[in-house]
């Protein structure tokens, strides 16, 4: 975690993608509302919270791909992986340490960004329906789940292929381009349930689901969603661990 925190460029980029994006978005919306209340709605309310959750989930996925790729191959790129191996520490332990440390670096920034959205949703509603504690909590947990999932996916892929740039491209291409396309092909039928993005959209609170859905609604049970997400995450981590523990030091 200290290695990640010492990368000032990484910290700045992830902060901008989370806290910075939320502050800028709600600040601009509120300024437009104050300047022309009849043309622009307020920055708060349930609908605005849906927009904020979608914004944070999207930018959070980008941040997750970046942090996961750096955590996965940062030591390799810096040329210190051999130094870590010769200490006698288990390679699997070195690999496993990247999961909690990467999440500890990433999630507080996501929480801070969502806190901005939650505060705006409550205090800047200006007559619009105000989100309750239940909606605020479930929306925040959903954003954290989505970001955490794509971090684990990026970490496993980065350790498997050993490249930061390719990992970021694969994860973002899969989530932002391929997932909506697959979800929009009716002929695929129940196969679409195997796409993790479809399951994550199903877990979104109903009050904001319409704001974040990128394709047609594909109903899934909670058990199916849980199984799909676990299989994807564990498979990525297992493949990453297999490659990382057999890599030439």
The CB-side HSE value for 233 (13 A sphere, CA atoms) comes to 19
Residues in CB range of 129: below 8 A, 6 or more apart:
45, 46
Interior angle at CA 177, CA 53 and CA 220, nearest 5: 60
Nearest partner of 24 among 118, 127, 117, judged by Cα: 117
pLDDT for 46 beyond 80: yes
pLDDT tier, 76 (very low <50, low <70, confident <90, very high otherwise): confident
Q: What is the pLDDT of residues 151-210, one digit of tens each?
A: 999 999 999 998 899 999 999 999 989 988 888 888 888 888 899 988 898 888 876 676
Q: Is the alpha carbon torsion for 208, 214, 216, 221 positive or negative?
A: negative
Q: Is the pLDDT of residue 249 over 60?
A: no
Residues 29-40 have pLDDT tens digits of 989 988 888 888
Q: Any idea where the domains of the chain sit in the sequence?
A: 2-244
Q: Is the dihedral of CA 9, 12, 14, 16 positive or negative?
A: negative
Q: Among the listed ranges 10-24, 57-71, 116-130, which one has the minimum average pLDDT value? A: 116-130
Contacts of 85-92 with C-beta under 8 Å, sequence gap 24+, read: 85/249, 86/249, 91/244, 91/245, 92/241, 92/245
Q: What percent of the chain has pLDDT over 90?
A: 50
Residue of 61, 20, 222 whose CA lies nearest to 149: 61
The predicted-structure confidence for 100-147, as pLDDT tens digits, reads as follows: 999 999 999 999 999 999 999 999 888 888 889 999 999 999 999 999
214 vs 9, which has greater pLDDT?
9
Note whether 192 and 185 are within 8 A (CB): yes
Question: Both tokens of residue 169?
Answer: 């491209």
This prediction has a pTM of: 0.92
Quote the pLDDT of residue 204.
85
Mean pLDDT of the chain: 88
């Amino acid at each position: 975690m200290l290695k990640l925190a010492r990368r000032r460029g990484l910290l700045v980029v992830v902060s901008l993608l989370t806290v910075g994006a939320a502050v800028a978005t709600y600040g601009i919306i509120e300024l437009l509302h104050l300047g022309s209340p009849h043309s622009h709605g307020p920055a708060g309310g349930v609908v605005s919270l849906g927009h904020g959750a979608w914004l944070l989930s999207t930018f959070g996925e980008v941040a997750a791909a970046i942090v996961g790729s750096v955590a996965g191959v940062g030591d390799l790129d810096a040329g210190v992986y051999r130094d870590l191996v010769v200490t006698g520490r288990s390679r699997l332990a070195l690999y496993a340490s990247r999961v909690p440390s990467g999440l500890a670096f990433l999630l507080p920034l996501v929480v801070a960004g969502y806190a901005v959205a939650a505060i705006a949703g409550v205090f800047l509603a200006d007559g619009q329906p105000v989100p309750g504690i239940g909606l605020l909590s479930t929306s925040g947990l959903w954003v954290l789940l989505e970001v955490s999932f794509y971090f684990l996916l990026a970490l496993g892929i980065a350790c498997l292929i050993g490249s930061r740039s390719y990992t970021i491209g694969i994860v973002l291409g899969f989530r932002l381009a391929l997932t909506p396309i697959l979800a929009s092909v009716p002929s695929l039928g129940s196969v679409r349930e195997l796409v993790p993005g479809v399951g994550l959209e199903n877990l979104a609170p109903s009050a904001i689901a319409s704001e974040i859905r990128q394709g047609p609604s594909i109903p899934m049970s909670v058990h199916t969603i849980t199984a799909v997400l676990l299989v994807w995450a564990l498979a990525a981590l297992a493949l990453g661990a297999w490659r990382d523990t057999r890599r030439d030091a």
